[in-house]
A and B are shown apart, each in its own frame.
Chain A
């Protein structure tokens, strides 16, 4: 479990605040998505949470241990994939795995077997004896994930984990993440694409300029992502709303009425004839598919 309380971070006296007093928690068995534009503060939040950088204020508890005060203990149950993984030059991947395993006092034989298993899992078995610093971008991400899992930690902080991965890699990692969720791990995922988190995250936190501007549940996200029908009629009243509510959720937006739901072309025809027969004149009717990304941008636009 990861608990973040009022986290603040300013990199140096010249730069503006990167993370501005945010609080949230990731429960065991939960996948939490952290979304935001470039520079929103996602990486800062993740890095501070796993003790790689020091916070300027606030508290971070990893399984109830404070990451700054009890660093060595709190780090025991952290698995971290950095945004741009970089590894020691000229050291073979398998040797790096063994080196990392040494921090957890894993016996050498077991460490070797576990390392090889993990490298196999992320598809790097054949590259185990190559220097990780010479891996491609996607391979580095895979290796970073393997190295994060060497101690099978209870909390995972994955920064842009799907970035730079090929489609099979994306599927693989999504599958692994869901599996780890089932095992009860707390998983914090960052991305700047909201869509990636559909069907994956239990909750999504949207960050902007170092602040949380919205928290969405999985269900809320689903409804956001659905298609809608936009209708412009000569007049909008309660009975029109009533009439349309059987097709989906209705939202009035000035002259426009928006019906959200699992709608298609056939529904559009039905709605069209339905309203006309009730005496409304339609000046505009179209099926619109509003993506999560559009929602996301609208939201941020509002925050500005």
Chain B
């Protein structure tokens, strides 16, 4: 049984100028201890799908329209009473956010913020909680934590703050850590350190990690399986090897081609033609079709069935691949 099973998650924002279909029927599973990557261009709904799981989207204008997200086979996160969900947040599922500069409360000391999960979820006293907080700060590589912990966030650098965020998220030994682009706001050397840190802590604690990023390189380095998102839906889902060497969706391919590092030197950089999708428009069929090199009429027709099994757990949403009309490997030869 998977640790987390998400089915048909759909989150829309009801704006004055129309409905933004930020997440539209997302389904995936997460096993104990594994690392699941979520990639996609900016605005593809990666963050919103993660926040929806813990009911962290701003409401209004956001609304979770339908779907289930069952944790450990027992609770549906999307329907759990507030109090139940609150006890899961920070205890069984913890989060690290994209921007460490704004994610810590500037008015409270690091210590106050660090010990909060322990006070709330484990009923520890202040002294014991503080001891644990110092310990976990040291575990994420903050030296002299005894002294540092009484500072305010603005006295820390971005990388240090992200370490604090990670220590704070892992302090209760959660079953799932959702890391929403934890390194995007940091410079390259710090990025690598933070990635290492998450991996190391994951090994020690057996935490399952959902790793959101738009950086395929990062995915290749840390993930077991990957979901590729586009326009609020999953386009392809599989192991890192399947996604990178055996991709079954034209969008995944286009995404890979647009990464400079995986690219032959000398060739000019590839960019996906066309504009990113307008999420306020209602659509039928494949959302990538207008920009796809292999698009045919039936891609947007009634036969389009969304994400479906391709080979075992390797899934794709490309109708032509599923129907066997298109073999991307051959095409690229």
Do the two shown chains form a genuine complex with each other? no
* Chain A interface residues (CB < 8 Å from chain B): none
